[in-house]
Amino acid sequence: MVKREGQVYITANSPVQGFASDLTFLGASLFLEYIIKEKKNWKYTNVVHDALYLNIPLDEVKECVLTAERFFTTDLFKVVERDFKYKIPFPLEAEFELGIYGGDLIKWDFSENNLDEIVMSLREIDSKRGVEKSKPYSLKL
């Protein structure tokens, strides 16, 4: 919002942010259904506006990221078109960051090699800290 001379104006970006938030919550609910159905050990820690936070075991990071990427792009696009009869006029994109703590997240560039590198760096951090392989890792979409 922008204030001018005592009046409040809603910026042009507000509808875009609202739509992104709606898509995030819709995608999060669909993804949660998948997690429950497939009995995955991926735990939601928070869902806010346009971000979803999960804790996942290190050995399942790659599978979770690749599954979430499909859910929040291709699958979500199809669900909106099918269930809401609305064709989104642009491709959906998602950003992914992975790490141990929120302040130490590494952005994924959508290549499989980069994802493998991120998982290896998390394993290295584990070995230096003596953390168990099964420790959950943060994933931010």
pTM here?
A: 0.79
Position of tokens 């998948």?
34
Secondary structure (3-state) at 141: coil
The C-alpha atoms of residue 59 and residue 70 are separated, in whole angstroms, by 19
**Ranges of H-type helices in the chain:** 14-37, 61-70, 76-84, 112-129
Query: 76, 25 in Cβ contact below 8 A?
Result: no
- pLDDT tens across the length of the chain (141 residues): 555 565 555 667 777 788 888 999 999 999 999 999 999 999 988 888 778 889 898 889 999 999 999 999 999 999 999 999 999 999 998 899 988 776 778 899 999 999 999 999 888 877 777 655 545 566 665
10 Å Cβ neighbour count for 42?
22
